[in-house]
Amino acid sequence: MNPEVVFIGLGNMGFPMAHNLIKGGFSVAGFDLLQSNVDRLIAEGGIQGVSLEQAVKSAKVVITMLPSSQSVKNVYLGEGGVFEQARPGTLLIDSSTISPEVAKELGKQAGERGMEMLDAPVSGGPVGATAGTLTFMVGATENGFASANAYLQKMGKALYHAGPHGSGQTVKVCNNMLLGITMIGTAEALRLGIANGLDPKVLTEIISKSSGNNWVLNACNPCPGVMEKAPASNDYAGGFGVDLMLKDLGLAVENALSTQCSVPLGANARNLYDMHSKAGNGKLDYGSIYQMLGKGS
């Protein structure tokens, strides 16, 4: 049986996204370098026994959720890759977080081959991917965005058309740069208050009703014990890894260089997460940057 949807990259994000498409009634064939990830999807109703080439040739939609710009380029542009195999008219959706420049180039090349391509990175992490509540930030033509609606709806609850090819990735890079900076600022403020003898719960409550209020403070407070369910209260396990934040800040700095834009706080934030990662904390939640700031007096 030929699948309607081909899903390439079944990791922490891709697996639950593909699973939600199956639950939403689509026939999906999943592909990953790890056979165990493919087998897991088959156990949840994924199509089996079809090769990647065969599946891409007949699919209506190809979705990718891969680690990096390079892996996305390999899958689309490589020998025997998606661009070579897919028929004109196939809808291509890349939800990986990659460089806006690469997304723009892929969107252009897809158009030259008679295909609509979307850069459609997401916010919401594995929890949002499992719940089907991701936010999609899309760069595409109007037509491409409209054609993808039925599929994106099954995986997310907020779908935004940011502009032409590359715009989705640009929004993602801007959002995550702000998030990385906000985490460091929030951790600094909490450290300063604690060093002056304040209870971090009291400090958090008052700031959250004042002008320093922000999402990090209320959703993933980096001070252990302030929020029972935050990664900080669980030895910084789960959540959004330091290395993922580092990757996104790297994309922001790279983009700032190519657009000649100054991002002094973004660049500093990247360096701090880089040092924190090199000290062996790459897999911890990014709120663990709080630990790097030391104890205070």
Which residues are known to be catalytic?
A: 172
Residue 119, helix vs strand vs coil: strand
- Region binding ligand NAD by CB under 6 A among candidate stretches 19-27, 31-39, 112-120, 184-192: 31-39
Among 50, 61, 122, 148, binds ligand NAD (CB under 6 A): 122
- For the CB of residue 248, give the shortest distance to ligand NAD in the complex, in Å: 7
Identify which of 83, 90, 1, 92 has the alpha carbon closest to the alpha carbon of residue 42: 1
Instruction: Tell me the β-bridge partners of 94.
Output: 64, 119
119 is a site residue for ligand NAD (CB under 6 A):
no
| Residue 22: alpha-carbon gap to chain centroid | 21
CB nearer to ligand NAD: give 15 or 26: 15
- For the CB of residue 38, give the shortest distance to ligand NAD in the complex, in Å: 9
What are the backbone angles phi and psi of residue 117, rounded to the nearest 5°? Answer: -125, 140
Among 28, 63, 75, 217, binds ligand NAD (CB under 6 A): 75
Q: Which ranges of the chain does DSSP label H, i.e. alpha helix?
A: 14-23, 35-43, 52-58, 69-77, 82-85, 100-112, 125-131, 142-155, 167-195, 200-208, 215-219, 242-259, 264-276, 289-292
Q: Which residue is nearest to ligand NAD (CB)?
A: 11
Q: Which of residues 34-73 bind ligand NAD (CB under 6 A)?
A: 34, 37, 65-67, 71
Instruction: Tell me the β-bridge partners of 62.
Output: 6, 92
d(CA 65, CA 97) in angstroms, rounded, equals: 8
CB-based burial label for 75 (10 Å; 0-12, 13-18, 19+)? buried
d(CA 224, CA 151) in angstroms, rounded, equals: 39
CB nearer to ligand NAD: give 11 or 200: 11
273 is a site residue for ligand NAD (CB under 6 A):
no
The answer for residues whose C-beta is within 8 angstroms of residue 202's C-beta and 6 or more apart is: none
74 is a site residue for ligand NAD (CB under 6 A):
yes
* Through-space distance between the first and last CA atoms of the chain, rounded to whole angstroms: 66
Binding mask 154-193 for ligand NAD (x = CB under 6 A): ----------------------------------------
Among 5, 6, 13, 106, binds ligand NAD (CB under 6 A): 13
- For the CB of residue 265, give the shortest distance to ligand NAD in the complex, in Å: 21
92 is a site residue for ligand NAD (CB under 6 A):
no
CB nearer to ligand NAD: give 98 or 207: 98
- For the CB of residue 72, give the shortest distance to ligand NAD in the complex, in Å: 8
Question: Nearest-5° angle of CA 267, CA 268, CA 270?
Answer: 65
Binding residues for ligand NAD, per CB under 6 A? 8-14, 31-34, 37, 65-67, 71, 74-75, 96-97, 122, 125-126, 240, 244, 247
